[in-house]
Structure 1
Amino acid sequence: MEYRSIFIETVFGFIMLFVLAKLLGKTQIKQLTAFDFISALILGELVGNALYDNEVGIRQVGFAVAIWGALLYITELTTQKFKKTRAVLEGRPSMVIHKGNIQREEMKKSKLDMNQLLHLLRSKDVFSVQEVDYAILESDGTVSVLKKSADQQPTRTDFKLPKEQVYLPFMVINDGEPIIDSLKEIGKDEQWLKKELKKQKINSVEEVFYAEFTKDNQLFVQSN
């Protein structure tokens, strides 16, 4: 009975948290601000404690998660309708590099040291502070970087080249299974896929680990 109870409460807690995450939207997962971090800890504690507390059942778990979810939802509505609350509840970006100069005061306010700043810059493929004109520490802990003009990558506009249409590569096989939606998107079917595979001396879709269709009608295939 004890294991059965733990199993039921675990599954129920998982479903409740999954539904809650879906209702709150992707920002709660992708952009983990300080407030969201606290929310994640609390939700984990609510479900975790319920699993090993004999006096707490599914109703109590559901009630606690629902209450906390309602508080999160109210907070989201508050930040959307009242702009002044965003700085308190979500935090605000800090400009840690301005016109090539490191802003020490802003770094102190954000509890950011040079090692951490350099780490964040490297994550943006910047290996020297001298390359940076502006750097903004976002509320979710990431950094946005605008390089100096001399260190920026040239674009087609810089070379006065004509614009070209951008094409999205499509994964058509994943671990031996054809992706039907992707095939429909590119106007192909499974028969076409099998013919293309035979051209590369592959007899079956099951033999393919990954296949990608690119703009020039080329099929890139990696076998198992």
Structure 2
Amino acid sequence: MSLSTITIEMIVGFFALFLLTKFLGKSQLSQLTPFDFISALFLGELVGNAMYDPDVPIGIILYTVTIWGILMYSLEILTQRSMKLRKFLEGSPSIIVRKGMIDRLQLKKNKLDINQLQDLLRQKGFFSLREVEYVILESNGEISVLPKSGYEPIKRMDVNLSLRSPTLPITLVLDGVLVEDNLRTAGVSKAWLEQELTKKNIATIQEVLYAEFKEGEELLIMGK
């Protein structure tokens, strides 16, 4: 295959994919679902292989992109008209934190662990689970957060409140396992933690799904 042929096919493939993206609309980029992601990978592989195969003419590349675009557009129209098909292909939102408590069954159903949940919350500006009332895992993998009353994004200076340096919350127990390094970082002992658990009628650390320490505040404990 000559360089001129490769160049022409790359230009044609580039503009064909560009037009397909414009045709399908911005929602394909801003609301990327797992199905959309896999479809994009498949189309890229399909066009890429065709471009570097000397036996595949430009017309076949254009035909491939056109058929794929028609299929994706038709599927988009069908999902807009059928709630059941939309739910089957795109999934539905899941409430993974309800009334300030982690819904462990929903976490397992969506293949999430607590570390991943904490990471998603930090990306939204919430560094402690005690700050959130509801967390909804959307169908595109992002989360929506409803903060608890008092944790809304209001500047303390606006209401003339005294300012104090913020402190990071420290995870002491994660899915029934004591995080000993964090215990030392928090400056508390295992005996103190067990005493706090006893106050909540929890006999062992293994019964705790999540426990969080934050200086100056009550220990946050969530049972399994």
- TM-score for the superposition, normalised by structure 2: 0.67
Equivalent residues of 2:9, 2:58 under 8 A apart: yes
* Maintained 8 Å contact 2:51/2:61: no
Q: Residues 45-60 of structure 1: matches in 2 within 5 Å?
A: 45-60=45-60
Name the residue aligned to 1:91. Answer: 91
Match of 1:2 in 2: 2
1:198-224 deviation line (CA, Å, top 9, x unaligned)? xxxxxxxxxxxxxxxxxxxxxxxxxxx
Q: Does 1:151 align with 2:151?
A: yes
Long gaps (5+) in structure 2: 160-224
Aligned to 2:29: 29
| Alpha-carbon contact 1:99-1:133 (below 8 Å) kept | yes
Equivalences for residues 208-223 of structure 1 within 5 A: none
Instruction: Give the aligned residue type for 2:45.
Output: E
Residue equivalent to 2:11: 11
CA deviation digits over 1:19-42, x for unaligned, max 9?
011011111112110111011101
2:218 alignment partner in structure 1? none
Identity of matched residues, %: 54
CA distance in 2, matches of 1:96, 1:2: 55
Contact 1:100 1:133 in 2 (8 A): yes
Aligned 1:184-199 pairs, distance under 5 A: none
Q: CA RMSD in A?
A: 1.5
Residue correspondences, number: 157
Instruction: Spell out structure 1 runs of 4+ moving beyond 2 A.
Output: none
Structure 1 length normalisation: TM-score?
Answer: 0.67
Tell me by how many angstroms 1:153 deviates.
Answer: 2.5
Q: SS of the counterpart of 1:111?
A: coil
Which letter maps to 1:98?
Answer: R
Q: Please state how far the C-alpha of 1:84 moved relative to its aligned partner.
A: 1.2
The amino acid that maps onto 1:17 is L
What's the secondary structure of 2:150's corresponding residue? helix
